[in-house]
Chain A
C-alpha cells in the first residue's frame, strides 16, 4: 500500500515540480525506470506467492537499477550503446510480461 501511495505521490510530485533530469543521468534514467518497474512487478508476484521479503525487494530494486544503468554506460563506452539498451529493454520487458502472467495466473487461476 505504501508502495502505491509512494508511486502516485512521486508521479504527482514530478508533474507538479517538473524536475529537470541532470545531464549525466539522462541516458540511464529510461533504462533504470524500466528496471525498477520490472522489480516492482517481481515484488508484487512474490507477495502474492507469500514469499515477499522487503529486504530482498530493496536490494533487488537498487541492484537492478544500477546494473541496468551500468549496462547502458558500458554500451556507450563500447560504442554499442543503443543496441545494448535495446537488449536490456527486451530482457526487462520479457521479465515484466512473465511476472505479469504469473500474477494473472495466481489471481484468476487461468
Chain B
C-alpha cells in the first residue's frame, strides 16, 4: 500500500529523507504549525482521558472477571442486608426499651407523688372536712386529740393537719409543761382546727358515733364541730429527716 511513496533508491535520496525528518522536527513558528501543535495537544489530552476512562470500566473485563465481580457484589449485598436486618432489630429493641423506660418513669412519677403526699413533704388539697375543737376550759387532753386523729385515719383520712402542723407517721401529740397541747413539739391554741382530706361522708359520721371522738371531746369539756369542704387545702409540710439507725432490708 505504498501508493505515491517511492522507496529511495540512492544514498543521496536517503539523505534527503533524513533531512526532511530533521526539518519536520525543527520548530517553525507559523500559524499552521501552532494549529497542528494544538490539535496534537488535544489528541494527547483525549488519549490520557480515554486511557483513564477505560481503566475502571468493565468493558475490557473477561467473562470470568465479570462473573467474579457479580458474585462479589452479590455477596456484599447479602452481607449488607444481614447487617441492615441486625441494625433494624437493634433499633426496634431500643425503641421498645425507650417505651418501657417512659412507662417506668411515669409509674415512678405517680408513685413519687403518692409517697410525697404520704410523707407530708408536699402540700395537698382535695375534698374533706375541717374540724374545729373549741376548748374553753383547757380540758381537752392530748390523748383525746390523738383519738380524733385516729378516728379520722380509721375513716380513711389521707392527709391531716392540726393547727399549722402536718400530721404524718411520726407525729406526736403531747402536753407541754405549760399545759398546752403540742403537736410535734409545736404548741397549739384552742380552738384546735383539724383539717383532713378524705371522704367527708365517711369521716363526719365516724367522729359522731356514740362513744367516739366527739363524745370524748365533750367528756373533756370541749366541743367538736365538723364541716365538710369540697376543697380542703393543706399547706403545711414536714421536712424529711434521713433515717439514722434504720437500714433497708435487702
Contact = CB atoms under 8 A, between A and B. Distances in A.
A107 B21 contact: yes
A2 B27 contact: yes
Contact count band on A: 35 or more
Contact count band on B: 35 or more
A62 B17 CA distance: 27
A40 B37 CA distance: 11
Residue among B41, B49, B54 with max Cβ neighbours from chain A (10 Å)? B49
B48 interface: yes
A107 B23 CA distance: 14
A4 B40 contact: yes
B36 A48 contact: no
Contact of A106 (B1, B7, B30): B7
A3 interface: yes
B248 interface: no
Interface string B54-65: 100000000000
Nearest to B34: A2
Interface in A39-72: 40, 43-45, 47-50, 52, 54-55, 57-58, 61-62
B24 A44 contact: yes
Interface in B4-57: 4-5, 7-8, 14, 16-18, 20-21, 23-28, 30, 32-50, 52-54
Nearest to A36: B43
B36 A19 contact: no
B53 A14 contact: no
B246 interface: no
B30 A54 contact: yes
B242 interface: no
Interface string A8-28: 111111110011110000100
Contact of B44 (A8, A45, A106): A8
A24 to B, nearest CB: 14
A101 B20 contact: no
Given A2-B27, A36-B43, A14 B17 contact: no
Contacts of A49: 4-5, 20
Interface of B: 1-2, 4-5, 7-8, 14, 16-18, 20-21, 23-28, 30, 32-50, 52-54
A86 interface: no
Given A26-B53, A47-B20, A48-B21, A2 B43 contact: no
Given A2-B27, A107-B17, A109-B7, A29 B40 contact: no
A2 B37 CA distance: 5
A78 interface: no
Given A3-B37, A57-B36, A36 B46 contact: yes
B32 A21 contact: no
B5 A105 contact: yes
Given A7-B41, A19-B49, A33-B46, 14 more contacts: A3-B37, A5-B27, A6-B37, A8-B44, A9-B44, A10-B40, A13-B45, A18-B52, A21-B53, A33-B43, A47-B23, A102-B1, A102-B2, A106-B17
